[in-house]
Each structure stands twice: as C-alpha cells, then as structure tokens.
C-alpha cells in the first residue's frame, strides 16, 4: 500500500512555508540570527535559527491563541501550513489522526515551572501546568481542527521523527484513519543555549567540548515540520513514503536502501555524526541540510520535507559544506543535480546505536 505526502508545513530559521524553505535551499543559507544568554563568563550572543509564528493569525483568531506558548504555536502553525499545502484547509476530514513528535518538548515552560517550584510556597498556574503536559500541543491541534481521531504524542529524543512516521504509516495501513497529520516540533530555551555555550562558546577553549566542530555549523535550531499523509490512489508530486525503519546498528548491520540518495541528519552534538560514512556503502551519494534549520532532535523531519521537495522539483539541492568532515568515503552532493528515478533515504544515527530512516520515492 502506497502512502503519499499530500502537504507540507514547515517553519524554522529559514522562514515559514515550503516556498521559503525552497528559497533557502537554492541560496544554500538561512538568515542566521543570535540569541543572548548569561554565562559564567558574562553575556554572550550565540548563533541561532529561531522560528517566528506571526502567520498563525492567518489561520486562527488571536483570542484563541492568548494562553498558548511559543512551542504550541509553532506546532499549530506547522499543522495549518501542511493542511493548506494539501488543499485540505477548512475541509472536515473523515477521521484524521494527529501524531506529534518532540525531542526536547516544551522546554521554556518546563524551566519556568522548575523556577516556580523553588519558591517556599509554590503556586503553579493551572494554565502553565496544563500547557506543560506533554500532549498539550497535539491537544490544541485537535481542538482547533475539531478532529476527534486518534492522537499520539511521542518523545524519543533523536528518534522522535522516525517513531512518529512509523506510527503514521501503521495507522494508514491498518485503515484506522483516512489521513494522518504527522509532525515534529522543538523549541529553543536558555538551558539549550547554555549547552551551546558549553560546547562551543567558552572563552577558554579547554572548557569547550565541541569535537572540533565550528560554531557556524552548530547553530541552535527550533521550528516545526508537519506532513499530511494519505493512502489515496491519486499520486502526489511530493512522492510516497516507501519505508520507515527503526533499528540498532550495533545489534546488526544497517539494512540500508540500495541505490538511494541519503540525506544525513547530522546534528553536530553527537559523536555518532562520524559513523554515517562507516555504516553506508562507500560510494553513496549523500547530502545534509542542517545549516538551514539548525541543531534540534526533530531535524530528520526537515530532511523529509526537503526530500519531498526534491521529488516535486526533480532536483537534489546542494549539501552543507561542513558535511565533508563527516563524509569519509561518501560522495557528497556539492551542487544541485537531477534526482532522476532515485529514491531518497533520510537517515538519522542516534544515541545508543539507534538508527531511523524514512525513504521517499517518486509516486
């Protein structure tokens, strides 16, 4: 059974929507900003690819957004953009599932709650608590879309996106639902900024734990990427989800797709970044795009969006230059080239030997 991508909704440091993502791919850069933070060595500005949610007011009345934090707003905007892109905005779907993945969760809210709990007599706001419940973002999506189908929130750090895609495909194959709105969201917060500082930003190089990566490559990222998946027979220009696999390459070899182009979800935080070259055949054509969306656990979701765009446009966009240091014997796609009939495999190697990939092919 074929599963098609009917719509994509993305926002991040590159901008908002598929057109702005494509523009960043063509330019091979995102407009990088900075975030400020206090460190043990004073105030510091660090590079960051943060997301804006202004466009949410195109879809939702502002009064409905009053109590929703940035994390939930990003998830909502990604959802609406995907539905709009699929031509399904305003349509009442018959039993749509909602699946939301996150690696960090609502980090700003959780930090604020921890702050409240240090008080002698903590008075936690009910709204803050209910927004901290880990399915809060999926809840607000279902409420605003008035969608009563199954809802799933998953949180598996760097494997969150493959895990979400796995369940989305299961639900469609089992015919539990007619369509699935599946996506991921991760948010920047000060604690994550502090992590960047510890790895790359200290004035004392001996305190950095950067594994030789440059700060430019390792910009903090945040954003959301959502997809509308269906099993309709009418093909989609974005292509179809051919396979979703989650394995552990330490418990056996990686069952990699042959003759596929690989989008590598390197994240600059992980020592596993250098293993891609070891687990893939030596002449594999490979690319990475995290210079456009930054470092975040749901990064593979953006790679899937880029793979779908590649199927639509028939071309593979030039990879990040920094991929060279991870690429080993891999054949890095340095300039735009034709995709042809090849499938694209979005691969993430994660902590503990976990591997997850989503393979897209032309419809």
Q: Indicate the residue among 50 and 153 with the shorter CB distance to another protein.
A: 153
Binding segment toward another protein, per CB under 8 A, in 9-17, 78-86, 124-132, 322-330: 124-132
| Residue whose entry in the numeric block shows the structure tokens 């004392």 | 204
Map the chain to HEC letters. CCCEEEEEEEEECCEECHHHHHHHHHHCCCCCEEEEEEECCEEEEEEEECCCCHHHHHCCCHHHHCCCCHHHHHHHHHHHHHHHHCCCCCCCCCCEEEEEECCCCCHHHHHHHHHHHCCCCCCCCHHHHHHHCCCHHHHHHHHHHCCCCCEEEECCHHHHHHHHHHHHHHHHHCCCCCEEEEEEEECCCHHHHHHHHHHHHCCCHHHCCCCCCCCCCCCEECEEEEEEEECCCCCCCCCEEEEEEEEEHHHCCCCCCCCCEEEECCCCCCHHHHHHHHHCCCCCEEECCHHHHCECCCHHHHHHHHHHHHHHHCEECCCCHHHHHHHCCCEECCCCEECCCCCEEEEEECHHHEEEEEEEECC
With contacts defined by CB under 8 A, how many residues of the chain interact with another protein? 77
Close Cβ partners of 140 (under 8 Å, ≥ 6 residues apart): 68, 72, 75, 76
Closest distance to another protein from the beta carbon of 363 (Å): 23
Closest distance to another protein from the beta carbon of 336 (Å): 33
Exactly one of 69, 84, 93, 147 binds another protein (CB under 8 A); which one? Answer: 147
Q: Is 61 in the site for another protein (CB under 8 A)?
A: no
Q: Is 89 in the site for another protein (CB under 8 A)?
A: no
Q: Indicate the residue among 253 and 335 with the shorter CB distance to another protein.
A: 253
Site for another protein in 324-363 (CB under 8 A): 351-352, 354
Closest distance to another protein from the beta carbon of 208 (Å): 8
Q: Is 279 in the site for another protein (CB under 8 A)?
A: no
Q: Indicate the residue among 84 and 273 with the shorter CB distance to another protein.
A: 273
Closest distance to another protein from the beta carbon of 24 (Å): 25
Close Cβ partners of 94 (under 8 Å, ≥ 6 residues apart): 178
Q: Is 103 in the site for another protein (CB under 8 A)?
A: yes
| Residue whose entry in the numeric block shows the structure tokens 């890095």 | 332
Closest distance to another protein from the beta carbon of 49 (Å): 17
Closest distance to another protein from the beta carbon of 118 (Å): 7
Q: Is 1 in the site for another protein (CB under 8 A)?
A: no
Q: Indicate the residue among 85 and 147 with the shorter CB distance to another protein.
A: 147
Q: Indicate the residue among 24 and 138 with the shorter CB distance to another protein.
A: 138
Q: Is 64 in the site for another protein (CB under 8 A)?
A: no
Site for another protein in 217-256 (CB under 8 A): 246-248, 250-252
State both tokens at 187. 């948010």
Closest distance to another protein from the beta carbon of 228 (Å): 17
Exactly one of 35, 76, 136, 280 binds another protein (CB under 8 A); which one? Answer: 136
Q: Indicate the residue among 145 and 316 with the shorter CB distance to another protein.
A: 145
State both tokens at 326. 């991870």
Exactly one of 155, 313, 331, 363 binds another protein (CB under 8 A); which one? Answer: 155
Site for another protein in 166-195 (CB under 8 A): 166-167, 170, 173-176, 190-192, 194-195
Q: Is 91 in the site for another protein (CB under 8 A)?
A: no
Binding segment toward another protein, per CB under 8 A, in 25-33, 43-51, 105-113, 234-242: 105-113
Q: x/- site string to another protein, residues 3 to 42, per CB under 8 A?
A: -------------------------------------x--
- Is residue 161 within 8 A of residue 301, CB to CB? The reply is yes
Tally Cβ neighbours within 10 Å of residue 233: 7
């Amino acid at each position: 059974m074929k599963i098609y991508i009917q719509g994509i909704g993305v926002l991040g440091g590159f901008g908002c929507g598929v057109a702005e993502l494509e523009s960043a791919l063509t330019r091979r850069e995102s407009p990088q900003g900075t975030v400020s933070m206090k460190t043990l060595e004073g105030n510091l500005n660090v590079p960051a690819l943060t997301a804006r949610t202004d466009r949410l007011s195109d879809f939702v009345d502002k009064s409905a957004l009053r109590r929703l934090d940035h994390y939930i707003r990003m998830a909502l905007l990604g959802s609406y953009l995907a539905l709009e892109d699929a031509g399904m905005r305003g349509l009442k779907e018959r039993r749509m599932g909602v699946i939301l993945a996150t690696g960090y969760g609502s980090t700003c809210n959780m930090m604020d709650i921890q702050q409240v709990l240090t008080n002698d007599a903590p008075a936690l706001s009910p709204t803050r608590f209910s927004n901290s419940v880990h399915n809060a973002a999926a809840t607000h999506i279902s409420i605003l879309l008035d969608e009563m189908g199954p809802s799933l929130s998953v949180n598996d750090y760097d494997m969150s996106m493959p895990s979400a895609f796995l369940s989305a495909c299961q639900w469609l194959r089992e015919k539990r639902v007619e369509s699935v709105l599946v996506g991921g969201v991760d948010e920047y917060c000060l604690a994550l900024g502090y992590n960047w500082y510890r790895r790359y930003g200290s004035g004392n190089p001996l305190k950095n734990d950067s594994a030789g990566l440059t700060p430019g490559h390792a910009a903090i990222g945040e954003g959301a990427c959502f997809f509308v998946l269906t099993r309709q027979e009418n093909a989609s220009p974005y292509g179809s989800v051919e396979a979703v696999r989650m394995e552990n390459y330490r418990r056996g070899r990686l069952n990699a797709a042959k003759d596929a182009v690989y989008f590598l979800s390197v994240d600059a935080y992980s020592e596993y970044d250098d293993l891609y070259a070891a687990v893939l055949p030596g002449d594999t054509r490979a690319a990475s795009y995290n210079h456009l969306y930054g470092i975040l656990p749901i990064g593979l979701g953006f790679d899937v969006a880029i793979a779908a765009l590649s199927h639509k446009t028939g071309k593979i966009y030039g990879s990040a230059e920094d991929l060279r240091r991870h690429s080993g014997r891999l054949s890095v796609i340095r300039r735009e080239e034709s995709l042809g009939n090849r499938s694209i495999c979005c691969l993430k190697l994660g902590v503990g030997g976990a591997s997850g990939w989503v393979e897209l092919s032309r419809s």
